[in-house]
Amino acid sequence: MDIFENAKRTMDELKEGIKDKLDATKLELAYSKKKKDLEQEQMEAEQNEKEQAIFQEEYNRLSSLDDKHLMVEMIFAIRGFYSEVESLKSEQKLLAEKIATMKTDLERLRIDLDILKEKK
Query: What is the rounded distance in angstroms from the CA atom of residue 44 to the CA atom of residue 34?
Result: 15
- Judge if 70 and 43 occupy the same domain: no
Q: Are residues 55 and 70 in the same domain?
A: no
How far, in Å, CA of 4 to CA of 87, rounded? 82
User: Does 17 lie in the same domain as 76?
Assistant: no
Domain count, the chain: 2
- Distance (Å, rounded) from C-alpha 101 to C-alpha 88? 20
Single residue among 26, 49, 64 that ends a domain in this structure: 64
Indicate if 35 and 87 belong to the same structural domain.
no
Give residue 85's identity as a one-letter amino acid code.
V
- Do 53 and 89 lie in one domain? The reply is no
* Distance from the first to the final alpha carbon of the chain: 78
Same domain membership, residue 98 and residue 51 = no
Report whether 73 contacts 62 (CB < 8 A): yes
Please give the Cα distance from 36 to 109 (Å, whole number): 50
Same domain, residue pair 3 and 58: yes
29 and 88 housed in the same domain: no
Please enumerate in sequence order all residues whose Cβ is within 8 A of that of 65, keeping only pairs 6 or more positions apart, or say none. 73
pLDDT of the chain, 120 residues: tens digit per residue: 577 787 778 888 888 888 878 878 888 888 889 999 999 999 999 999 999 999 999 999 999 999 999 999 999 999 999 999 999 999 999 999 999 999 999 999 999 999 988 887
Which residue range forms the structural domain that includes residue 16?
Answer: 1-64
